[in-house]
Structure 1
Amino acid sequence: MNSWNDSTDLCSWIGVTCNVWNKKVVILNLEAQKLVGFIPSSIGNLTYLTGINLIDNNFHGPTQLIGSIPDQLSSLLNLTHFWVDDNNLTGAIPDWIGKSSSLYAISLAYNNFEGSIPNALGRLTSLGRFVIPSNKLSGTVPSSIYNISSIYYITATQNQLHGELPQNVGTTLPNLEIFAGGKLRFLDFAENGLPGKLPAENLNHLVGPPITTRSREAAVLYHSSLKRVWQRCPTLLLVSWPSVCAPTCPLQLWFSRRTLPYLP
């Protein structure tokens, strides 16, 4: 970028925020800056960094952010926010992320990350937001994640995850607003392979959407298991279901008789 040159103080560069006391770089906010190539490993030298925002640098043609997350970023022990959505990043979610104990928000959506969700994430006792939809992640959701009581927002749609959701997730994750929990407001774990039932209790804060799936069998499961649950969701605002659930789907017909602002 043109503003990044030796003739000006780096703390005045676009997207750079420095600590006023020691002039150390604490935030890199480079969203939609048409960055090219790989995430530089030298970012790992900015040990005072608390936030990295590289969202939306995936442009058509030669300008796109590619490659994997460098291991050198493991030295960023003060990092609280890490956002790299909407790029063309590949590789696995690195295990070292679990060592960044200050991390509060991880957002890796709309990339091409592969492999499994690392168990090391369970060590992030301050984690509040974990956002990984539209990747190529597989395997099961690590049980360690269900023990991070600070989490309130999880979304992992459009991956190849499988396994069952624990029915006590609302107890182990009491602050959860997205996915499940006593404060459930938005449930979005679509297009994976995650069967199972959710308990009906403590769903009064739900606004939407319930789990969606491409599976006709799963759609029947939701009808038989969740119809009574929805009747206990007075604040429900949004419902979403798979395209395979035709207009004659029993659950869809039931919802059509309710007054909802968002009913696809």
Structure 2
Amino acid sequence: MDTHTLRLVLLSVFLVSSSLPSPTLSVSSVRCNPSDKRVLLKIKKSLNNPQSLTSWNPNTNCCDWLGVSCDLQTNRVTTLRFSGISIPGQIPAAIGDLPYLDTLDFVNVADLTGPIPYSITKLQNLRMLSTLLTNISGPIPEFLHQLKNLWFLDLSYSNFYGPIPASLANLPKLEVLELGGNKLTGNIPDSLWASQNRFVVFDLSQNQLSGKIPKSLSHFNADSINLRNNKFTGDASALFKTNGTLSHLDLSWNEFDFDLSRVKLPESLQDMDLSHNRIRGSIPKEITGLNLYWLKVSYNRLCGEIPFGGKVQEFGADSFFHNRCLCGQPLPKCK
């Protein structure tokens, strides 16, 4: 998802240059933008020079350092991506001094703590931000709405708490919102439901969120919606939009209460988990026409005969059991 198309750059371009590097400096080192290198070394110092960043050697090309990528034309640092390494401390404020940064990605960096620094708002080219599986904590910052080019925001499985900022709806390019596995509370802001963004992923699962889904979602559209394991109540049928692009839906482990027989299932739906709710009615016959690879409606209050056909009977009894009076394959025959 980089903004820049990668092009082949021949080393011979540097060798035939009229200004050859000095003997004490490697050919590749002249690629590194001096300003960006100074910032990266400042970041390393702020983290107390961790062992994991030993490759960040001032005598080498910063574009070759661990987790660092540069644009092949401008040589400016565009990516900081760290996965599964030790970086004890907080995200340094100096990260905001990398003006061409497109991607800031921390994945499975357990000893990274503290809040997201305000200086990140200077990164107006930032498109991807992830703190997945870290110990970054605090409320989700309101100031993230200043990152107008952000399309991918993954703060999942960290230690964020408090409400979801309504201002996230002001990110005009946001398509991926993943906030699962935190300690978030309160409602989903109405501004997010009213967003005209088309979400590829809308994941708020495994939090402590509550409240009801609006009865009308005229603008909201998402390919994948995951509200699993929260405290939501009421009618979620507005999420089933026949003219939408919904393919993945997980509403399990909530307290939703609505009549499933009145729901129009979108043809785009590929997997659906409605288990562990208070959903009533019967399973719509239209489900047999869907190209499903996952279906689970167990632990609800459904009744009637399970529609026969399509891929429905390929799912085991555990996908349907513990309902009020469902019957038919793969459950026992209806009496």
> TM-score, normalised to structure 2's length?
0.65
Give me the CA root mean square deviation.
2.9
Match of 1:216 in 2: none
How does 1:1-264 map onto structure 2 within 5 Å?
1-58=53-110, 64-146=111-193, 147-169=195-217, 171-174=218-221, 176-179=222-225, 180=239, 181=241, 182-191=244-253, 200-201=263-264, 203-213=266-276, 219-220=277-278, 222-224=279-281, 227-228=283-284, 231=287, 234-240=290-296, 245=299, 250=302, 254=306, 258-260=312-314
Which structure is higher in RCO with an 8 Å CA cutoff and minimum separation 6? 1
Residue identity opposite 1:183 in structure 2: T
Greater strand proportion: 2
User: Deviation at 1:97?
Assistant: 0.8
Give identity over the alignment, percent. 25
Q: 1:163–1:195: 8 Å Cα contact kept in structure 2?
A: no
Q: 1:204–1:232: 8 Å Cα contact kept in structure 2?
A: no
Q: Distance in 2 between matches of 1:85 and 1:75?
A: 22
Q: Render the CA deviation track for 1:18-74: whole Å, top value 9, x for unaligned.
A: 12233221111112223222111111111211111101112xxxxx11111111111
Residue identity opposite 1:100 in structure 2: L
Q: Render the CA deviation track for 1:103-124: whole Å, top value 9, x for unaligned.
A: 1010111111001110111111
User: Deviation at 1:149?
Assistant: 2.4
Q: Which runs of 5+ in 2 are unaligned?
A: 1-52, 226-238, 320-335
Q: Which runs of 5+ in 1 are unaligned?
A: 59-63, 214-218
Q: 2:283–2:302: 8 Å Cα contact kept in structure 1?
A: no
Q: Distance in 2 between matches of 1:197 and 1:81?
A: 39
Equivalent residue pairs, number:
246
Determine helix, strand or coil for the equivalent of 1:103: coil
Residue identity opposite 2:264 in structure 1: E
Residue identity opposite 1:105 in structure 2: F
Change in CA separation of 1:251 and 1:53 when aligned onto 2, cut-off 3 Å: farther
Q: Render the CA deviation track for 1:61-107: whole Å, top value 9, x for unaligned.
A: xxx11111111111111111111111112101101111111010101
Residue identity opposite 1:111 in structure 2: S
Residue identity opposite 1:152 in structure 2: V
Q: 1:187–1:209: 8 Å Cα contact kept in structure 2?
A: yes
Determine helix, strand or coil for the equivalent of 2:164: coil
